[in-house]
Amino acid sequence: MTLLLQASGLIPTDVVCSREYGEDAVVQVINDDVAVIENVDIFTPIHDDPRVQGEIVACNATNDVFAMGATKILSMQAFMAYPRHLPRDIAAGVLQGMTDFMKKLDSKVTGGQTITNPEPVFGGICLGIAHPKDVIYSSGAKAGDSVLLTKPLGIQPAMRSYRDLRDEKRDTLLAQFDESELRRIEKSAVNVMTQSNREVAAAMVEIGVNAATDITGFGIIGHANNVAVLSGVDVVIDTLPIIRGTSQLAEYFGHKLAIGQSAETAGGMLIFIESGRAGTLSDLLKKKGIQCWSVGVTTKASPTPQARLADDVQIIETDFL
Output the average pLDDT for the chain.
93
Environment class of 77 (CB within 10 Å of its CB; exposed 0-12, middle 13-18, buried 19+): middle
* Interval 275-292: pLDDT, tens: 999 999 999 999 999 999
pLDDT of 14 over the 80 cut:
no
- The span from the CA of 65 to the CA of 37, in Å, is 6
Phi, psi of 206, deg, nearest 5: -65, -45
By percentage, how much of the chain surpasses pLDDT 70?
93
pLDDT of 223 over the 50 cut:
yes
CATH of domain 2-131: 3.30.1330.10
265 pLDDT band, cuts 50/70/90, is: very high
- Please give the CATH architecture assigned to the domain spanning 138-318: Alpha-Beta Complex (3.90)
Q: Where are the domains of the chain?
A: 2-131, 138-318
Q: pLDDT at position 321, please? A: 73
- The span from the CA of 254 to the CA of 241, in Å, is 19
pLDDT of 271 over the 60 cut:
yes
Write out the DSSP string of 57-103. Answer: HHHHHHHHHHHTT--EEEEEEEEEEE-TTS-HHHHHHHHHHHHHHHH
* Interval 235-251: pLDDT, tens: 999 999 999 999 999 99
pLDDT of 50 over the 90 cut:
yes
Q: pLDDT at position 20, please? A: 52
- The span from the CA of 79 to the CA of 72, in Å, is 21
Q: Are 218 and 294 in contact (CB under 8 A)?
A: no
In this prediction the pTM is 0.93
* Interval 117-176: pLDDT, tens: 999 999 999 999 999 999 999 999 999 999 999 999 999 999 999 999 999 999 999 999
pLDDT of 232 over the 80 cut:
yes
